Structure 1
């Protein structure tokens, strides 16, 4: 298992590989993260129906199946899981060779602003570069200005691609961001 200290701006945060016992905490972070970040952006009924226990079971099954594997979780000094992120090969049709994709990055709403998100993003971009990827893409809700600012500060820029996904019966527009991995460190 890989454990590394976080960047200097996130004291006490450690990033390590996810373990099966983290599924409940990761599910809690993902559900609470959606409910906090996407209020007003996706139908409220959808957010209200999200269930931590159901999400934990999905995480356990995905983890047991071996894919797409979660690559890292963020730990506070007290060893509580405070964030979760994963990446892998880019899933976009026609994506250039060497492009990875940030599939997910969530920090518990109570821990936003502590540096946990920056630590996770820094770790995953470093891991993707080490794995031979030259750039990383991600999709973010078009109207999620807070997340867009976070990614822009980390060197990601919109590349003009847009698409809508269906969430809770509503079309939710997303934009793609891309960053070269050989450039400045995330954070």
Structure 2
């Protein structure tokens, strides 16, 4: 991902939250999300230059208005991974921080490709495990990660959104050797 990609990635992230988390967290919070604010935070993180955090984008044909061809260079998905965060401490394990696909492109294998590439890169970096947090009530995401070889490990914690606690559960995938 480059700084030029941040606006599109932010729109995908906001659309992903508004689609996937409808009914799982306060609608007023989802409606108030700003792609512009999110893009600014993404640009700031990229500018910080933390090489241990990797942002991947998936590019593909995006839908276009009727009668016009789709664009083959449109970003349609984004994943971000890096060291696992245990509070403020980074560990030797990896964490998938985010994975979002433009809702218009879901079900086409884009999320699976991003997940597989993140796992491949974590394995190549010598990480033993990859963790991720998912909303407890987000059954579609939980099934998606289970199909990718992840499983709930029993850890749970509340995630507060607009004053409402939304429980998250932790998933883990054991990695093989990079060979």
TM over 0.5: yes
Displaced runs of 4 or more, over 6 A:
none
Counterpart CA distance in 2 for 1:70 and 1:179 is 18
Instruction: Indicate yes or no: 2:57 matched with 1:73.
Output: yes
Higher strand share: 2
TM-score (norm 1): 0.84
Check if 1:158 corresponds to 2:142: no
Task: Report matched runs for 1:124-135 at 5 Å.
Answer: 124-135=118-129
Partner of 1:80, secondary structure, is: strand
Instruction: Measure, in 1, the Cα distance between the counterparts of 2:14 and 2:87.
Output: 28
Per-residue CA distance 1:33-73 (angstroms, 9 max, x = gap):
00000000010000000011111111111111124744211
Q: Equivalents in 2 of 1:94, 1:26: separation in Å?
A: 26
| Superposition CA RMSD, Å | 1.9
User: What is the correspondence of 1:36-185 to structure 2 with a 5 Å cutoff?
Assistant: 36-67=19-50, 69-77=53-61, 78-93=72-87, 98-182=92-176
Q: How many residues in Structure 1 have an aligned counterpart in Structure 2? A: 166
Question: TM-score, length-normalised on structure 2?
Answer: 0.87
Gaps of 5+ in 2: 62-71
- SS where residue 142 of structure 2 aligns? helix
Partner of residue 21, structure 1:
4
* 2:130/2:172 contact within 8 Å kept: yes
Give the distance between the partners of 2:88 and 2:21, measured in 1 at CA.
Answer: 29
Residues of 1 paired with 2:129 and 2:146: CA distance? 15
The secondary structure found in structure 2 opposite 1:128 is helix
- Paired with 1:35 and 1:141, the residues of 2 have a C-alpha distance of 14
Residue 93 of structure 1: how far off its partner (Å): 4.7
- Cα distance in 2 for residues equivalent to 1:97 and 1:66: 19
From the superposition, tell whether residues 69 and 96 of structure 1 become closer, same or farther in structure 2 (CA, over 3 Å): closer
Q: Which runs of 5+ in 1 are unaligned?
A: 1-17
Q: Structure 1 residues 93, 57: CA separation in 2 closer, same or farther (over 3 Å shift)?
A: closer
Q: Provide the secondary structure at the position in 1 that maps to 2:108.
A: coil
Which one has the largest radius of gyration? 2
